[in-house]
Structure 1
């Protein structure tokens, strides 16, 4: 395995972000959702229009993990009004750490998380927060290992199905 490199993404990376997003969301969540709900979610949340708007938002940052020329995952961070909920200036949201299943267990997620932590510290944030599906124990363990604790729950819709996400937070100060 070549060294994994984390690079800041730009609007020119739209197709890469879209492709990884669709692939990893499907790999991770298809088993627990209907085909119709998955199709609806993927069409709504990973359309070119939606990804272009996210990449263009001044309070969102994207980073792509690459092994050589292959993109194997990405990170999406939100501050300010780009945050999906809290929208407090003291926090930064990790909206997505998506890693292709072939790269699970190869520390790609950890490298992306480390970049999120670095950005939060550079920006002087008090905490990192995120939402994670309550039925995704692998991700929950990963975040707990990195010092996150559950502080609330919220509803996350996949297609027409309302699911529960655990909201997790890591204090930085």
Structure 2
């Protein structure tokens, strides 16, 4: 598979929403209630959510696409952090990093992470924070290989289910 990683723009909100929903459903469909998943996606992965991030100068959105067809297959979102821990003015949150299953093992995840670290540094961040589903062993192993370490926990709710998710940090 050939692919590219590029900065996303306002015209990409629909593409980002589609890949976000596909990734979220694929990742969690065997573990969470279907109605809760759909409601979560409609609320948190719609084009308006991405449009807001794309218009926020403190956020950076990156899109991974196939080459030469430019079909969306992954993305990242860096934003101001929202965690129940002591935050520093130089913290940034890697709010989202997802790739479609067929892109796993291609290097896209590593490329998206490298781009997120570069973008965070360009914005003046000294530390990247992220939260991850406690049972997502694949993602947790990826973050740990990327140098992230657990520094706390947060509760994350999808429908009626509340999860105690670890918070990871990477000093940059």
TM-score over 0.5 for the pair: yes
Residue of structure 2 in register with 1:73 after alignment: 74
Deviations 1:90-141 (A, max 9, x none): 1121111110011111111110000011122333422111001110000000
Which one is further off, 85-94 or 4-13? 85-94
- SS of the residue 1:32 aligns to: coil
Please state how far the C-alpha of 1:146 moved relative to its aligned partner.
0.9
- SS of the residue 1:23 aligns to: helix
Write the distance in 2 (CA, Å) between the matches of 1:48 and 1:122.
26
Residue of structure 2 in register with 1:157 after alignment: 157
Write the distance in 1 (CA, Å) between the matches of 2:146 and 2:101.
20
- The answer on 1:134 being equivalent to 2:134 is yes
Write the distance in 2 (CA, Å) between the matches of 1:124 and 1:56.
19
CA contact (8 A) 1:39 1:159 kept: no
Q: How many residues align?
A: 168
Please state how far the C-alpha of 1:48 moved relative to its aligned partner.
3.0
Deviations 1:146-168 (A, max 9, x none): 11110100011112211121100
Write the distance in 2 (CA, Å) between the matches of 1:92 and 1:152.
15
Residue of structure 2 in register with 1:27 after alignment: 26
CA contact (8 A) 1:77 1:95 kept: yes
Which structure 1 residue ranges, 4+ long, deviate > 3 Å from structure 2? none
TM-score by length of 2: 0.91
Residue of structure 2 in register with 1:84 after alignment: 82
TM-score by length of 1: 0.91
Residue of structure 1 in register with 2:169 after alignment: 169
1:8-157 → structure 2 map (5 Å cutoff): 8-68=7-67, 69-78=70-79, 82-85=80-83, 88-157=88-157
> For residues 128 and 145 of structure 1, do their structure 2 counterparts lie closer, same or farther at Cα, with a shift above 3 Å needed?
same
How large is the Cα RMSD of the aligned pairs? 1.4
Structure 1 unaligned runs (5+)?
none
